């Protein structure tokens, strides 16, 4: 729940426009609301129009403008259309949050080409081409904030999840490399690395009580995260407060990235 509060000037996003991919639920929906509460107008993209429209409606309740655009980030034409429609409507793009992501677990010997392509196309290809699509606008404006959603698995290994781990490792290197290339244009490219956060992708795993017990037991903080735990990092990276922070991944994980988190 977003509480009405006066945003400190350094974190004020009034007049800014943000695109959030995977914005219909989970981390993306919460990120969209956080930025709207700080004053930004929001464009949410994703594959499910009904959830996008629900998020857009909540943003309008915060008296911010909102646009919901059905988008499959695996298709470059969709990504470019998302950016084009944002510019047609708002005339600017200040923040891009690349949140679209998928995951499938299982033994490496059972991974199909279809599974590999689905995960890498969503988690890496879509992210890269979204960055590329907003690049000309941000370079021309000499400002921009790009926030890529990685994972603690960007930094540590996890068996039975190799395609996902490979994709999230790529997110870290994409972030670092693009930050170097676009820093001269005053564009900050950073990432967040959530630990276990209770979204739809995680919630189904916790239907197994024994698995849930083992995962919670391994958390240094004694709990898994909620989407609201990411609010501060997202707002920081989207605002002027992070103008000299570039190429970094902020792990929001209760210290979990310091060790292995898989079930015994």
Residues classed as catalytic: 164
The full DSSP string for 96-122 is: EEE---------GGG--HHHHHHHHII
The dihedral through the CA atoms of 18, 19, 22, 23 has a sign that is positive
* Dist. CA 171–CA 181, nearest whole Å: 15
Parallel, antiparallel, or unpaired: how do β-strands 95-98 and 144-149 relate? parallel
Burial environment of residue 158 by CB neighbours within 10 A (0 to 12, 13 to 18, 19 or more): middle
């Amino acid at each position: 729940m977003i509480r009405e509060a006066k945003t400190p000037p350094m974190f004020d996003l009034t007049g800014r426009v943000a695109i959030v991919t995977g914005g219909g639920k989970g981390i993306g929906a919460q990120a969209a609301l956080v930025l709207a509460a700080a004053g930004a107008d929001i464009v949410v993209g994703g594959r499910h129009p009904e959830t996008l429209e629900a998020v857009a409606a909540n943003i309008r309740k915060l008296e911010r403008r909102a646009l919901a655009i059905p988008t499959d980030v695996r298709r470059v034409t969709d990504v470019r259309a998302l950016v084009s429609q944002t510019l047609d409507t708002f005339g600017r793009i200040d923040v891009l949050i690349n949140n679209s992501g998928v995951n499938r677990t299982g033994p490496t010997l059972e991974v199909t080409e279809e599974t590999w392509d689905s995960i890498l196309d969503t988690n890496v290809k879509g992210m890269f081409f979204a960055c590329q699509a907003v690049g000309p606008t941000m370079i021309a404006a000499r400002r921009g904030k790009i926030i890529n959603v990685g994972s603690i698995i960007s930094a540590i290994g996890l068996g039975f999840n190799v395609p996902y781990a490979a994709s999230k490792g790529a997110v870290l290197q994409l972030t670092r490399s693009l930050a170097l290339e676009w820093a001269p244009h005053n564009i900050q490219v950073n990432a967040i690395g959530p630990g276990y956060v209770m979204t739809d992708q995680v919630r189904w795993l916790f239907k197994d009580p024994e698995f849930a017990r083992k995962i919670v037991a391994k958390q240094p903080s004694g709990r898994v995260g909620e989407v609201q735990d990411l609010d501060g990092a997202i707002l920081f990276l989207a605002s002027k407060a992070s103008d000299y922070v570039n190429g970094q991944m902020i792990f929001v994980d209760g210290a979990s990235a310091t060790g292995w988190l898989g079930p015994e």
